[in-house]
A and B are shown apart, each in its own frame.
Chain A
Amino acid sequence: MILRQISRLRGAFMIAGWSGLGLVGLIVALGDFLARFPAGHLHAGPALAPPSALYPFGTDLLGRDVWSETVHALGVTAANGAAAAVLTLVLGGALGFVAMRLGAAPRLFLRWLMGVLAAAPALLLAIVLIGLSARGYAGVAAGLAAAPLAFVRAFDRARSQSRSRRSEYARATGISAATLIRRDLVYEFRGVFLSTAARALAAVAIVYSTVSFLGFGAEPPRRDLGLMIAAAEASYLGAWWTAAFPALFLIALILFARLAAGLDEGERA
Protein backbone atom coordinates (compact mmCIF):
# COMPACT_ATOMS: atom_id res chain seq x y z
CA MET A 1 0.00 0.00 0.00
CA ILE A 2 2.79 2.41 0.96
CA LEU A 3 4.70 1.49 -2.20
CA ARG A 4 1.63 2.18 -4.34
CA GLN A 5 1.17 5.56 -2.72
CA ILE A 6 4.81 6.43 -3.32
CA SER A 7 4.58 5.41 -6.95
CA ARG A 8 1.60 7.76 -7.29
CA LEU A 9 3.87 10.55 -6.12
CA ARG A 10 5.61 10.50 -9.51
CA GLY A 11 3.13 13.07 -10.83
CA ALA A 12 3.62 15.16 -7.71
CA PHE A 13 7.41 15.07 -8.19
CA MET A 14 7.01 16.27 -11.78
CA ILE A 15 4.82 19.14 -10.62
CA ALA A 16 7.39 19.95 -7.95
CA GLY A 17 10.14 19.88 -10.59
CA TRP A 18 8.34 22.23 -12.96
CA SER A 19 7.36 24.51 -10.07
CA GLY A 20 11.02 24.58 -9.03
CA LEU A 21 12.12 25.46 -12.56
CA GLY A 22 9.42 28.15 -12.60
CA LEU A 23 10.84 29.51 -9.35
CA VAL A 24 14.34 29.51 -10.87
CA GLY A 25 12.94 31.41 -13.86
CA LEU A 26 11.30 33.91 -11.52
CA ILE A 27 14.51 34.44 -9.56
CA VAL A 28 16.42 34.95 -12.82
CA ALA A 29 13.79 37.37 -14.17
CA LEU A 30 13.68 39.38 -10.96
CA GLY A 31 17.42 39.04 -10.37
CA ASP A 32 18.14 42.77 -10.42
CA PHE A 33 15.39 43.40 -7.86
CA LEU A 34 16.20 40.47 -5.61
CA ALA A 35 19.96 41.09 -5.55
CA ARG A 36 21.02 43.91 -3.31
CA PHE A 37 24.16 44.61 -5.31
CA PRO A 38 25.05 44.48 -9.00
CA ALA A 39 27.08 41.51 -10.23
CA GLY A 40 30.70 41.54 -9.16
CA HIS A 41 30.23 44.43 -6.68
CA LEU A 42 33.38 44.32 -4.48
CA HIS A 43 33.48 45.25 -0.82
CA ALA A 44 29.75 45.25 -0.32
CA GLY A 45 30.56 44.23 3.22
CA PRO A 46 33.44 42.92 5.30
CA ALA A 47 35.36 39.95 3.84
CA LEU A 48 34.10 36.49 4.77
CA ALA A 49 31.24 37.72 6.97
CA PRO A 50 29.05 34.75 7.97
CA PRO A 51 25.33 34.67 7.07
CA SER A 52 23.41 37.35 8.94
CA ALA A 53 20.28 39.45 8.60
CA LEU A 54 22.22 41.99 6.55
CA TYR A 55 24.01 39.40 4.38
CA PRO A 56 21.71 36.35 4.34
CA PHE A 57 24.30 34.17 2.54
CA GLY A 58 27.32 35.96 4.04
CA THR A 59 30.14 37.59 2.07
CA ASP A 60 33.15 36.18 0.23
CA LEU A 61 36.87 36.81 0.32
CA LEU A 62 36.51 40.09 -1.60
CA GLY A 63 33.54 41.24 0.46
CA ARG A 64 30.98 40.46 -2.26
CA ASP A 65 27.42 39.69 -1.09
CA VAL A 66 27.07 35.94 -1.70
CA TRP A 67 23.25 36.17 -2.02
CA SER A 68 23.46 38.82 -4.75
CA GLU A 69 26.27 37.00 -6.50
CA THR A 70 24.40 33.68 -6.33
CA VAL A 71 21.26 35.21 -7.84
CA HIS A 72 23.25 36.74 -10.71
CA ALA A 73 25.25 33.56 -11.23
CA LEU A 74 22.10 31.45 -11.28
CA GLY A 75 20.86 33.60 -14.14
CA VAL A 76 24.06 33.01 -16.12
CA THR A 77 24.04 29.25 -15.46
CA ALA A 78 20.32 28.87 -16.24
CA ALA A 79 20.52 30.91 -19.46
CA ASN A 80 23.56 29.03 -20.71
CA GLY A 81 22.05 25.72 -19.63
CA ALA A 82 18.80 26.47 -21.50
CA ALA A 83 20.67 27.44 -24.67
CA ALA A 84 22.82 24.33 -24.42
CA ALA A 85 19.76 22.14 -23.86
CA VAL A 86 18.14 23.49 -27.04
CA LEU A 87 21.32 22.73 -28.98
CA THR A 88 21.47 19.22 -27.57
CA LEU A 89 17.83 18.61 -28.45
CA VAL A 90 18.15 19.88 -32.00
CA LEU A 91 21.63 18.64 -32.94
CA GLY A 92 21.35 15.50 -30.85
CA GLY A 93 17.82 14.20 -30.52
CA ALA A 94 16.17 15.59 -33.65
CA LEU A 95 19.15 15.03 -35.94
CA GLY A 96 19.47 11.46 -34.67
CA PHE A 97 15.94 10.66 -35.79
CA VAL A 98 16.40 12.38 -39.15
CA ALA A 99 19.81 10.78 -39.80
CA MET A 100 18.35 7.32 -39.36
CA ARG A 101 16.06 7.87 -42.37
CA LEU A 102 18.80 9.23 -44.65
CA GLY A 103 20.53 7.20 -47.33
CA ALA A 104 22.94 4.46 -46.29
CA ALA A 105 26.19 6.46 -46.73
CA PRO A 106 25.30 9.62 -44.74
CA ARG A 107 23.43 7.54 -42.19
CA LEU A 108 26.34 5.24 -41.44
CA PHE A 109 28.88 8.07 -41.53
CA LEU A 110 26.93 10.22 -39.06
CA ARG A 111 26.32 7.27 -36.73
CA TRP A 112 30.02 6.40 -36.80
CA LEU A 113 31.16 9.98 -36.21
CA MET A 114 28.74 10.56 -33.36
CA GLY A 115 29.56 7.14 -31.89
CA VAL A 116 33.24 8.10 -31.74
CA LEU A 117 32.47 11.50 -30.20
CA ALA A 118 30.11 9.89 -27.68
CA ALA A 119 32.94 7.62 -26.56
CA ALA A 120 34.63 10.67 -25.03
CA PRO A 121 33.15 12.27 -21.93
CA ALA A 122 31.02 15.30 -22.80
CA LEU A 123 33.10 17.26 -20.31
CA LEU A 124 36.33 16.70 -22.28
CA LEU A 125 34.63 17.51 -25.59
CA ALA A 126 33.27 20.73 -24.11
CA ILE A 127 36.74 21.67 -22.87
CA VAL A 128 38.23 21.02 -26.32
CA LEU A 129 35.47 23.03 -28.04
CA ILE A 130 35.97 25.96 -25.68
CA GLY A 131 39.72 25.72 -26.19
CA LEU A 132 39.15 25.89 -29.93
CA SER A 133 36.75 28.84 -29.73
CA ALA A 134 36.45 31.21 -26.81
CA ARG A 135 35.32 31.08 -23.21
CA GLY A 136 32.25 33.16 -23.97
CA TYR A 137 30.82 30.18 -25.85
CA ALA A 138 30.90 27.74 -22.94
CA GLY A 139 27.11 27.25 -23.08
CA VAL A 140 27.23 26.45 -26.80
CA ALA A 141 30.18 24.13 -26.25
CA ALA A 142 28.33 22.27 -23.47
CA GLY A 143 25.33 21.83 -25.75
CA LEU A 144 27.47 20.61 -28.65
CA ALA A 145 29.43 18.28 -26.38
CA ALA A 146 26.28 16.64 -25.01
CA ALA A 147 24.75 16.31 -28.49
CA PRO A 148 26.65 13.17 -29.68
CA LEU A 149 25.26 11.00 -26.91
CA ALA A 150 21.74 12.37 -27.50
CA PHE A 151 22.24 11.72 -31.22
CA VAL A 152 23.34 8.12 -30.66
CA ARG A 153 20.38 7.42 -28.38
CA ALA A 154 17.87 9.01 -30.76
CA PHE A 155 19.43 7.23 -33.74
CA ASP A 156 19.37 3.82 -32.07
CA ARG A 157 15.81 4.38 -30.93
CA ALA A 158 14.77 5.36 -34.44
CA ARG A 159 16.58 2.29 -35.80
CA SER A 160 14.71 -0.08 -33.51
CA GLN A 161 11.47 1.66 -34.49
CA SER A 162 12.25 1.31 -38.19
CA ARG A 163 12.58 -2.44 -37.68
CA SER A 164 9.28 -2.65 -35.83
CA ARG A 165 6.11 -4.09 -37.22
CA ARG A 166 4.44 -0.69 -37.31
CA SER A 167 7.16 0.63 -39.60
CA GLU A 168 6.70 -2.27 -41.99
CA TYR A 169 2.92 -1.80 -41.84
CA ALA A 170 3.42 1.85 -42.79
CA ARG A 171 5.79 1.01 -45.65
CA ALA A 172 3.43 -1.68 -46.91
CA THR A 173 0.69 0.93 -47.24
CA GLY A 174 2.87 3.44 -49.07
CA ILE A 175 3.91 5.70 -46.21
CA SER A 176 7.19 7.36 -47.17
CA ALA A 177 10.38 7.81 -45.13
CA ALA A 178 9.64 11.55 -44.92
CA THR A 179 6.29 10.85 -43.28
CA LEU A 180 7.94 8.43 -40.87
CA ILE A 181 10.51 11.12 -39.94
CA ARG A 182 7.65 13.52 -39.35
CA ARG A 183 5.99 10.92 -37.15
CA ASP A 184 9.14 10.48 -35.09
CA LEU A 185 9.77 14.19 -34.73
CA VAL A 186 6.17 15.13 -34.00
CA TYR A 187 5.24 12.31 -31.68
CA GLU A 188 8.58 11.71 -30.05
CA PHE A 189 8.97 15.36 -29.23
CA ARG A 190 5.35 16.39 -28.77
CA GLY A 191 4.77 13.66 -26.25
CA VAL A 192 8.02 13.94 -24.38
CA PHE A 193 9.36 17.32 -25.47
CA LEU A 194 9.11 18.95 -22.10
CA SER A 195 10.56 16.02 -20.20
CA THR A 196 13.33 15.55 -22.79
CA ALA A 197 14.16 19.25 -22.59
CA ALA A 198 14.24 19.11 -18.79
CA ARG A 199 16.50 16.05 -18.89
CA ALA A 200 18.83 17.76 -21.38
CA LEU A 201 18.88 20.85 -19.15
CA ALA A 202 19.98 18.75 -16.18
CA ALA A 203 22.74 17.08 -18.22
CA VAL A 204 24.16 20.22 -19.79
CA ALA A 205 23.90 22.22 -16.54
CA ILE A 206 26.33 19.71 -15.03
CA VAL A 207 28.70 19.93 -18.01
CA TYR A 208 28.50 23.72 -18.18
CA SER A 209 29.06 24.30 -14.46
CA THR A 210 31.92 21.78 -14.42
CA VAL A 211 33.79 23.40 -17.31
CA SER A 212 33.20 26.69 -15.59
CA PHE A 213 34.59 25.30 -12.33
CA LEU A 214 37.67 24.18 -14.27
CA GLY A 215 38.10 27.72 -15.56
CA PHE A 216 36.68 27.37 -19.07
CA GLY A 217 33.28 28.96 -18.43
CA ALA A 218 32.07 32.49 -17.89
CA GLU A 219 34.69 35.19 -18.00
CA PRO A 220 35.03 37.42 -14.92
CA PRO A 221 33.55 39.78 -13.92
CA ARG A 222 30.54 37.82 -15.25
CA ARG A 223 30.28 34.77 -13.02
CA ASP A 224 28.19 31.64 -13.02
CA LEU A 225 27.65 29.11 -10.26
CA GLY A 226 30.58 26.88 -11.29
CA LEU A 227 32.98 29.81 -11.28
CA MET A 228 31.64 31.05 -7.94
CA ILE A 229 32.31 27.63 -6.41
CA ALA A 230 35.79 27.57 -7.98
CA ALA A 231 36.51 31.00 -6.51
CA ALA A 232 35.33 29.77 -3.12
CA GLU A 233 37.94 26.98 -3.10
CA ALA A 234 40.40 29.26 -1.37
CA SER A 235 38.05 30.08 1.49
CA TYR A 236 35.38 27.40 1.88
CA LEU A 237 37.23 25.31 4.49
CA GLY A 238 36.97 28.24 6.89
CA ALA A 239 33.93 29.98 5.41
CA TRP A 240 31.60 27.22 4.20
CA TRP A 241 28.91 29.64 3.01
CA THR A 242 31.04 30.91 0.15
CA ALA A 243 30.74 27.53 -1.61
CA ALA A 244 27.69 25.97 0.02
CA PHE A 245 25.01 28.43 -1.19
CA PRO A 246 26.06 28.48 -4.85
CA ALA A 247 26.41 24.68 -4.70
CA LEU A 248 22.92 24.34 -3.23
CA PHE A 249 21.45 26.53 -5.97
CA LEU A 250 23.24 24.48 -8.61
CA ILE A 251 22.05 21.20 -7.11
CA ALA A 252 18.51 22.60 -6.89
CA LEU A 253 18.56 23.61 -10.57
CA ILE A 254 19.72 20.12 -11.64
CA LEU A 255 17.34 18.38 -9.27
CA PHE A 256 14.32 20.41 -10.40
CA ALA A 257 15.18 19.63 -14.01
CA ARG A 258 15.44 15.91 -13.25
CA LEU A 259 12.19 15.87 -11.28
CA ALA A 260 10.50 17.73 -14.14
CA ALA A 261 11.79 15.02 -16.49
CA GLY A 262 9.75 12.50 -14.54
CA LEU A 263 12.38 10.96 -12.30
CA ASP A 264 14.21 9.71 -15.33
CA GLU A 265 17.25 7.59 -14.70
CA GLY A 266 19.47 10.56 -15.45
CA GLU A 267 21.82 11.46 -18.23
CA ARG A 268 25.51 10.94 -18.25
CA ALA A 269 27.58 14.11 -18.04
Chain B
Amino acid sequence: MRVALEESGKLALGLLGALVLALALSALSVPGAAHSPRAFALAALARLLAFLRLDFGTSRITDLPAVDMLASHVPVTATLIALGALVSVALGAPLGLLFGSGGLRRVAAPIVQIVSAAPVFVAGLAVAYAANRFLGWPPGAGPFPGPGELLHPDAQALRRVVLPALTVGFAGTAAIHVALRRAAAGEQDQPYRESLRRLGLSALEIDRVYVAPVILAGLFSSLGEVVVAFIASAVVSEWVFRCPGAADLFVKSVALGDWNMAGLILFLFCALSLVIAFIGRLLGGAILRAESQA
Protein backbone atom coordinates (compact mmCIF):
# COMPACT_ATOMS: atom_id res chain seq x y z
CA MET B 1 0.00 0.00 0.00
CA ARG B 2 2.81 2.39 0.95
CA VAL B 3 4.60 1.58 -2.31
CA ALA B 4 1.42 2.21 -4.32
CA LEU B 5 0.95 5.57 -2.60
CA GLU B 6 4.57 6.53 -3.24
CA GLU B 7 4.29 5.56 -6.88
CA SER B 8 0.98 7.44 -7.21
CA GLY B 9 2.67 10.53 -5.78
CA LYS B 10 5.50 10.19 -8.29
CA LEU B 11 2.96 9.80 -11.11
CA ALA B 12 1.02 12.88 -10.00
CA LEU B 13 4.22 14.95 -9.86
CA GLY B 14 5.27 13.62 -13.26
CA LEU B 15 1.91 14.50 -14.81
CA LEU B 16 2.12 17.94 -13.25
CA GLY B 17 5.55 18.39 -14.85
CA ALA B 18 4.24 17.27 -18.22
CA LEU B 19 1.37 19.74 -17.87
CA VAL B 20 3.81 22.57 -17.10
CA LEU B 21 5.82 21.59 -20.18
CA ALA B 22 2.67 21.61 -22.33
CA LEU B 23 1.59 24.97 -20.89
CA ALA B 24 5.01 26.47 -21.61
CA LEU B 25 4.84 25.33 -25.23
CA SER B 26 1.21 26.31 -25.59
CA ALA B 27 1.97 29.79 -24.24
CA LEU B 28 4.30 30.35 -27.19
CA SER B 29 1.27 30.29 -29.45
CA VAL B 30 -0.05 33.43 -27.73
CA PRO B 31 1.02 36.46 -29.83
CA GLY B 32 3.81 38.45 -28.18
CA ALA B 33 4.53 35.82 -25.53
CA ALA B 34 8.13 35.36 -26.68
CA HIS B 35 8.97 39.05 -26.31
CA SER B 36 9.65 39.10 -22.58
CA PRO B 37 9.61 36.72 -19.64
CA ARG B 38 6.70 38.65 -18.16
CA ALA B 39 4.65 38.34 -21.32
CA PHE B 40 5.49 34.65 -21.43
CA ALA B 41 4.42 34.16 -17.80
CA LEU B 42 1.15 35.96 -18.41
CA ALA B 43 0.53 33.89 -21.54
CA ALA B 44 1.26 30.67 -19.63
CA LEU B 45 -1.17 31.76 -16.90
CA ALA B 46 -3.83 32.51 -19.49
CA ARG B 47 -3.32 29.10 -21.07
CA LEU B 48 -3.52 27.46 -17.64
CA LEU B 49 -6.85 29.15 -16.92
CA ALA B 50 -8.09 28.11 -20.35
CA PHE B 51 -6.94 24.53 -19.76
CA LEU B 52 -8.82 24.52 -16.44
CA ARG B 53 -11.95 25.52 -18.37
CA LEU B 54 -11.15 22.59 -20.70
CA ASP B 55 -10.46 25.06 -23.49
CA PHE B 56 -7.41 23.62 -25.26
CA GLY B 57 -7.33 26.25 -27.99
CA THR B 58 -7.21 25.84 -31.73
CA SER B 59 -4.67 24.61 -34.23
CA ARG B 60 -2.80 27.45 -35.91
CA ILE B 61 -2.56 25.44 -39.13
CA THR B 62 -6.17 24.41 -39.63
CA ASP B 63 -7.95 26.74 -37.19
CA LEU B 64 -9.86 23.70 -35.93
CA PRO B 65 -10.19 22.97 -32.17
CA ALA B 66 -6.97 21.31 -31.03
CA VAL B 67 -8.87 18.55 -29.25
CA ASP B 68 -10.73 17.63 -32.44
CA MET B 69 -7.45 17.53 -34.35
CA LEU B 70 -5.97 15.31 -31.69
CA ALA B 71 -9.03 13.03 -31.68
CA SER B 72 -8.81 12.52 -35.43
CA HIS B 73 -5.07 11.75 -35.41
CA VAL B 74 -4.60 9.73 -32.21
CA PRO B 75 -6.39 6.55 -33.44
CA VAL B 76 -3.77 6.09 -36.19
CA THR B 77 -0.90 6.35 -33.73
CA ALA B 78 -2.71 4.14 -31.23
CA THR B 79 -3.30 1.51 -33.95
CA LEU B 80 0.35 1.53 -34.98
CA ILE B 81 1.59 1.30 -31.40
CA ALA B 82 -0.90 -1.45 -30.53
CA LEU B 83 -0.02 -3.54 -33.58
CA GLY B 84 3.68 -2.80 -33.06
CA ALA B 85 3.34 -3.95 -29.45
CA LEU B 86 1.85 -7.24 -30.64
CA VAL B 87 4.81 -7.78 -32.99
CA SER B 88 7.25 -6.80 -30.22
CA VAL B 89 5.78 -9.11 -27.63
CA ALA B 90 5.69 -11.97 -30.13
CA LEU B 91 9.31 -11.39 -31.18
CA GLY B 92 11.02 -9.48 -28.38
CA ALA B 93 9.99 -11.59 -25.40
CA PRO B 94 11.13 -14.98 -26.77
CA LEU B 95 14.30 -13.49 -28.24
CA GLY B 96 15.07 -11.64 -25.02
CA LEU B 97 14.58 -14.77 -22.92
CA LEU B 98 16.54 -16.92 -25.38
CA PHE B 99 19.48 -14.56 -25.77
CA GLY B 100 19.20 -12.89 -22.39
CA SER B 101 20.88 -15.47 -20.21
CA GLY B 102 23.67 -17.97 -20.05
CA GLY B 103 26.34 -18.30 -22.70
CA LEU B 104 23.94 -17.31 -25.49
CA ARG B 105 23.79 -13.84 -23.96
CA ARG B 106 27.43 -13.21 -24.81
CA VAL B 107 27.11 -14.76 -28.23
CA ALA B 108 24.06 -12.64 -29.02
CA ALA B 109 25.52 -9.34 -27.80
CA PRO B 110 27.36 -8.39 -31.03
CA ILE B 111 24.45 -9.55 -33.20
CA VAL B 112 21.98 -7.49 -31.16
CA GLN B 113 24.26 -4.47 -31.48
CA ILE B 114 24.55 -4.82 -35.24
CA VAL B 115 20.81 -5.26 -35.75
CA SER B 116 19.84 -2.42 -33.43
CA ALA B 117 22.45 -0.03 -34.84
CA ALA B 118 20.10 0.77 -37.73
CA PRO B 119 18.01 3.86 -36.88
CA VAL B 120 14.25 3.37 -37.18
CA PHE B 121 13.95 5.48 -40.33
CA VAL B 122 16.58 3.33 -42.06
CA ALA B 123 14.72 0.19 -40.97
CA GLY B 124 11.44 1.71 -42.22
CA LEU B 125 12.91 2.51 -45.61
CA ALA B 126 14.43 -0.99 -45.80
CA VAL B 127 11.03 -2.55 -45.02
CA ALA B 128 9.34 -0.38 -47.67
CA TYR B 129 12.04 -1.27 -50.22
CA ALA B 130 11.75 -5.00 -49.51
CA ALA B 131 7.93 -4.90 -49.74
CA ASN B 132 8.12 -3.04 -53.03
CA ARG B 133 10.85 -5.20 -54.51
CA PHE B 134 9.68 -8.65 -53.42
CA LEU B 135 5.91 -8.21 -52.92
CA GLY B 136 5.31 -5.48 -55.43
CA TRP B 137 3.63 -3.26 -52.84
CA PRO B 138 3.57 0.40 -53.90
CA PRO B 139 4.85 3.05 -51.48
CA GLY B 140 2.26 4.08 -48.85
CA ALA B 141 -0.64 6.06 -50.26
CA GLY B 142 -4.33 6.44 -49.66
CA PRO B 143 -6.31 6.85 -46.46
CA PHE B 144 -5.30 5.01 -43.32
CA PRO B 145 -7.93 2.37 -42.41
CA GLY B 146 -10.12 3.00 -39.39
CA PRO B 147 -10.77 0.50 -36.58
CA GLY B 148 -13.79 -0.98 -38.44
CA GLU B 149 -11.75 -1.67 -41.56
CA LEU B 150 -8.94 -3.16 -39.50
CA LEU B 151 -11.26 -5.85 -38.14
CA HIS B 152 -12.08 -6.96 -41.71
CA PRO B 153 -9.17 -5.64 -43.71
CA ASP B 154 -8.93 -5.84 -47.48
CA ALA B 155 -5.59 -6.07 -49.29
CA GLN B 156 -5.32 -2.29 -49.62
CA ALA B 157 -5.93 -1.70 -45.90
CA LEU B 158 -3.52 -4.47 -44.98
CA ARG B 159 -0.77 -2.98 -47.14
CA ARG B 160 -1.37 0.41 -45.56
CA VAL B 161 -1.02 -0.90 -42.02
CA VAL B 162 1.45 -3.79 -42.08
CA LEU B 163 4.63 -1.93 -43.02
CA PRO B 164 4.43 0.92 -40.48
CA ALA B 165 3.26 -1.52 -37.78
CA LEU B 166 6.19 -3.81 -38.57
CA THR B 167 8.62 -0.89 -38.33
CA VAL B 168 7.22 0.13 -34.95
CA GLY B 169 7.23 -3.54 -33.95
CA PHE B 170 10.92 -3.98 -34.80
CA ALA B 171 11.86 -0.90 -32.79
CA GLY B 172 9.73 -2.14 -29.88
CA THR B 173 11.30 -5.59 -30.17
CA ALA B 174 14.73 -4.05 -29.75
CA ALA B 175 13.53 -2.08 -26.71
CA ILE B 176 11.92 -5.13 -25.07
CA HIS B 177 14.95 -7.23 -25.88
CA VAL B 178 17.30 -4.70 -24.29
CA ALA B 179 15.07 -4.40 -21.19
CA LEU B 180 14.97 -8.18 -20.78
CA ARG B 181 18.70 -8.54 -21.30
CA ARG B 182 19.39 -5.79 -18.78
CA ALA B 183 17.16 -7.48 -16.20
CA ALA B 184 18.76 -10.85 -16.96
CA ALA B 185 22.25 -9.36 -16.68
CA GLY B 186 21.49 -8.35 -13.09
CA GLU B 187 20.67 -11.96 -12.17
CA GLN B 188 23.37 -13.52 -14.34
CA ASP B 189 26.14 -13.87 -11.77
CA GLN B 190 24.11 -14.02 -8.58
CA PRO B 191 25.81 -16.48 -6.23
CA TYR B 192 22.51 -18.11 -5.23
CA ARG B 193 22.16 -19.71 -8.65
CA GLU B 194 25.17 -21.91 -8.08
CA SER B 195 24.46 -22.47 -4.39
CA LEU B 196 20.91 -23.62 -5.07
CA ARG B 197 22.24 -26.04 -7.68
CA ARG B 198 24.70 -27.45 -5.18
CA LEU B 199 21.92 -27.64 -2.61
CA GLY B 200 19.99 -29.91 -4.96
CA LEU B 201 17.80 -27.91 -7.36
CA SER B 202 18.12 -28.25 -11.12
CA ALA B 203 19.28 -25.30 -13.23
CA LEU B 204 15.95 -25.24 -15.04
CA GLU B 205 13.98 -25.14 -11.79
CA ILE B 206 16.13 -22.31 -10.43
CA ASP B 207 15.65 -20.30 -13.63
CA ARG B 208 11.92 -20.98 -13.73
CA VAL B 209 11.08 -20.39 -10.08
CA TYR B 210 13.57 -17.77 -8.93
CA VAL B 211 15.19 -16.07 -11.92
CA ALA B 212 12.27 -15.69 -14.35
CA PRO B 213 10.04 -13.64 -11.98
CA VAL B 214 12.91 -11.21 -11.35
CA ILE B 215 13.53 -10.80 -15.08
CA LEU B 216 9.82 -10.31 -15.71
CA ALA B 217 9.66 -7.75 -12.90
CA GLY B 218 12.67 -6.01 -14.47
CA LEU B 219 10.87 -5.87 -17.81
CA PHE B 220 7.77 -4.39 -16.23
CA SER B 221 9.87 -1.83 -14.37
CA SER B 222 11.36 -0.77 -17.74
CA LEU B 223 7.98 -0.46 -19.44
CA GLY B 224 8.25 3.33 -19.43
CA GLU B 225 11.39 3.15 -21.56
CA VAL B 226 9.77 0.61 -23.88
CA VAL B 227 6.78 2.92 -24.41
CA VAL B 228 9.10 5.82 -25.16
CA ALA B 229 10.76 3.66 -27.84
CA PHE B 230 7.32 2.88 -29.30
CA ILE B 231 6.41 6.58 -29.44
CA ALA B 232 9.71 7.57 -31.04
CA SER B 233 9.38 4.83 -33.65
CA ALA B 234 5.76 5.85 -34.32
CA VAL B 235 6.97 9.39 -35.12
CA VAL B 236 9.41 8.06 -37.70
CA SER B 237 7.11 5.38 -39.03
CA GLU B 238 4.22 7.79 -39.60
CA TRP B 239 6.57 10.12 -41.43
CA VAL B 240 8.12 7.43 -43.64
CA PHE B 241 4.81 5.76 -44.50
CA ARG B 242 2.75 8.96 -44.66
CA CYS B 243 0.33 7.90 -41.91
CA PRO B 244 -1.77 10.81 -40.60
CA GLY B 245 -1.18 10.10 -36.90
CA ALA B 246 -0.58 12.26 -33.84
CA ALA B 247 3.19 11.82 -34.13
CA ASP B 248 3.13 13.02 -37.73
CA LEU B 249 0.94 15.92 -36.63
CA PHE B 250 3.49 16.78 -33.92
CA VAL B 251 6.33 17.04 -36.45
CA LYS B 252 4.25 19.22 -38.75
CA SER B 253 3.04 21.37 -35.84
CA VAL B 254 6.58 22.13 -34.68
CA ALA B 255 7.73 22.77 -38.26
CA LEU B 256 4.90 25.29 -38.77
CA GLY B 257 5.15 26.84 -35.31
CA ASP B 258 1.78 25.51 -34.08
CA TRP B 259 2.98 25.37 -30.46
CA ASN B 260 -0.45 24.87 -28.93
CA MET B 261 -0.94 21.65 -30.88
CA ALA B 262 2.67 20.55 -30.26
CA GLY B 263 2.29 21.16 -26.52
CA LEU B 264 -0.89 19.09 -26.33
CA ILE B 265 0.63 16.16 -28.24
CA LEU B 266 3.80 16.29 -26.15
CA PHE B 267 1.66 16.21 -22.99
CA LEU B 268 -0.26 13.23 -24.35
CA PHE B 269 2.92 11.28 -25.10
CA CYS B 270 4.57 12.19 -21.78
CA ALA B 271 1.40 11.24 -19.88
CA LEU B 272 1.20 7.93 -21.74
CA SER B 273 4.81 7.13 -20.93
CA LEU B 274 4.43 8.18 -17.26
CA VAL B 275 1.23 6.18 -16.76
CA ILE B 276 2.63 3.04 -18.40
CA ALA B 277 5.85 3.41 -16.38
CA PHE B 278 3.72 3.71 -13.23
CA ILE B 279 1.71 0.59 -14.07
CA GLY B 280 4.91 -1.25 -14.97
CA ARG B 281 6.56 -0.38 -11.68
CA LEU B 282 3.47 -1.47 -9.73
CA LEU B 283 3.30 -4.76 -11.62
CA GLY B 284 7.06 -5.32 -11.22
CA GLY B 285 6.76 -4.68 -7.50
CA ALA B 286 3.75 -7.01 -7.24
CA ILE B 287 5.66 -9.82 -8.97
CA LEU B 288 8.58 -9.44 -6.56
CA ARG B 289 6.23 -9.33 -3.57
CA ALA B 290 4.42 -12.44 -4.81
CA GLU B 291 7.79 -14.18 -5.13
CA SER B 292 8.77 -13.21 -1.60
CA GLN B 293 5.54 -14.66 -0.22
CA ALA B 294 5.57 -17.82 -2.34
A residues engaging B (CB < 8 A)? 3, 6-7, 9-10, 13, 112-113, 115-117, 119-124, 127-128, 130-132, 202, 206, 209-210, 213-216, 226, 229, 233, 236-237, 240, 243, 247, 250-251, 254-255, 258-259, 263, 265-266, 268-269
Q: Are A263 and B125 in contact, CB atoms less than 8 angstroms apart?
A: no
Instruction: Give the nearest-CB partner of A256 in chain B.
Output: B117
B residues engaging A (CB < 8 A)? 13-14, 17-18, 20-21, 25, 28, 103, 106-107, 109-110, 112-114, 116-122, 125-126, 128-129, 132-133, 139, 174-175, 178, 181-182, 185, 224-225, 228-229, 231-232, 235-236, 239-240, 250-251, 254-255, 257, 262, 266, 269-270, 273-274, 277
Q: Are A250 and B14 in contact, CB atoms less than 8 angstroms apart?
A: no
Instruction: Give the nearest-CB partner of B235 in chain A.
Output: A123
Q: Are A268 and B266 in contact, CB atoms less than 8 angstroms apart?
A: no
Cα-based distance from A226 to B28 in the complex (angstroms) = 29
Find the residue from B18, B106, B109, B240 having the highest chain A CB count within 10 A. Answer: B109
Cα-based distance from A117 to B28 in the complex (angstroms) = 18
| Contact A119 B109, CB 8 Å, known A128-B262, A131-B262, A236-B125 | no
Residues of chain B with a CB closer than 8 A to A243's CB: 125, 129
A-B contact pairs, 28 of them (CB 8 A): A3-B103, A6-B106, A115-B14, A116-B14, A116-B17, A116-B20, A119-B18, A119-B273, A120-B21, A120-B228, A120-B266, A120-B273, A121-B235, A122-B232, A123-B232, A127-B250, A127-B254, A210-B119, A214-B251, A229-B121, A233-B125, A247-B125, A254-B119, A263-B109, A263-B113, A266-B116, A268-B225, A268-B228
Residues of chain A with a CB closer than 8 A to B255's CB: 131, 215-216
Cα-based distance from A112 to B287 in the complex (angstroms) = 27
Residues of chain B with a CB closer than 8 A to A237's CB: 128-129, 132-133, 139
Residues of chain B with a CB closer than 8 A to A266's CB: 112-113, 116, 174, 178
Cα-based distance from A6 to B185 in the complex (angstroms) = 17
Residues of chain A with a CB closer than 8 A to B178's CB: 265-266
Cα-based distance from A48 to B81 in the complex (angstroms) = 36
Residues of chain B with a CB closer than 8 A to A233's CB: 125, 240
Residues of chain B with a CB closer than 8 A to A128's CB: 25, 254, 262, 266
| Contact A265 B182, CB 8 Å, known A112-B17, A237-B132 | yes
Q: Are B117 and A258 in contact, CB atoms less than 8 angstroms apart?
A: yes
| Contact A265 B181, CB 8 Å, known A6-B106, A124-B250, A237-B132 | yes
Residues of chain A with a CB closer than 8 A to B174's CB: 266
Residues of chain A with a CB closer than 8 A to B103's CB: 3, 6-7
Query: What secondary structure prevails in chain A residues at the interface with B?
Result: helix
Cα-based distance from A36 to B8 in the complex (angstroms) = 60
| Contact A210 B236, CB 8 Å, known A112-B13, A119-B228 | yes
Q: Are A131 and B113 in contact, CB atoms less than 8 angstroms apart?
A: no
Closest beta carbon of chain A to B110's beta carbon, Å: 6
Instruction: Give the nearest-CB partner of B121 in chain A.
Output: A213
| Contact A120 B25, CB 8 Å, known A209-B119, A266-B116, A268-B175 | no
